[in-house]
Structures are given as structure tokens and as C-alpha cells.
Amino acid sequence: MMPTIVVVGTTMVIFALKAFDVVYVMTAGNYNTDILARRMYSELYNAGNYANASALAVVLLLAVVPVLIFNLRQFRAVEARR
């Protein structure tokens, strides 16, 4: 049961980090609902600040990669037990 809980938990973390579409459609970042992906979009297209946008993209990537690696290890461990 624990591997399933871990996989679902890591998947939820990934989806939380990629919640750009919900925030953009619902509030467009207003009312203190700004998230990292939305800020990256705003820096790139609204402000034209490519350096900040690429730095935010790297931070978002670095936040997601460890979760993905952990998730892949869990998948492999579950497959090895079968």
C-alpha cells in the first residue's frame, strides 16, 4: 500500500507545480494567486524580461526533477516486486 501512496503523493506534487492553467484562466495571477509558472509567463510575454523568465523556468525544472526521479524509482521498485 505504501508504494501506491508515495506515487500518488509525488504525482500530486508535480500537478501542484504545474497548476499554471488553472491560475491563468481563473484569476490571471490577480488576488495574490500568482505561482511560479504564471510568473515565468508574465516575465516572458508581458515584461519582455527573458533573463528572469529563463531563471524561473530553471527553478521550476529543478523543483520538479527530484520528484520525478523519486517517482521513477518507486515505479521500478514496484515492478521489481512483481
Sketch the domain layout of the chain as residue ranges.
2-81
Sorted by sequence, the CB contacts under 8 Å of residue 18 that are 6+ apart come out as 37, 64
**pLDDT band at 50; cut points 50, 70, 90:** very high
0.85 cut: is pTM over it? no
Mean pLDDT in residue range 40-47:
86
Q: What is the pLDDT of residue 29?
A: 67
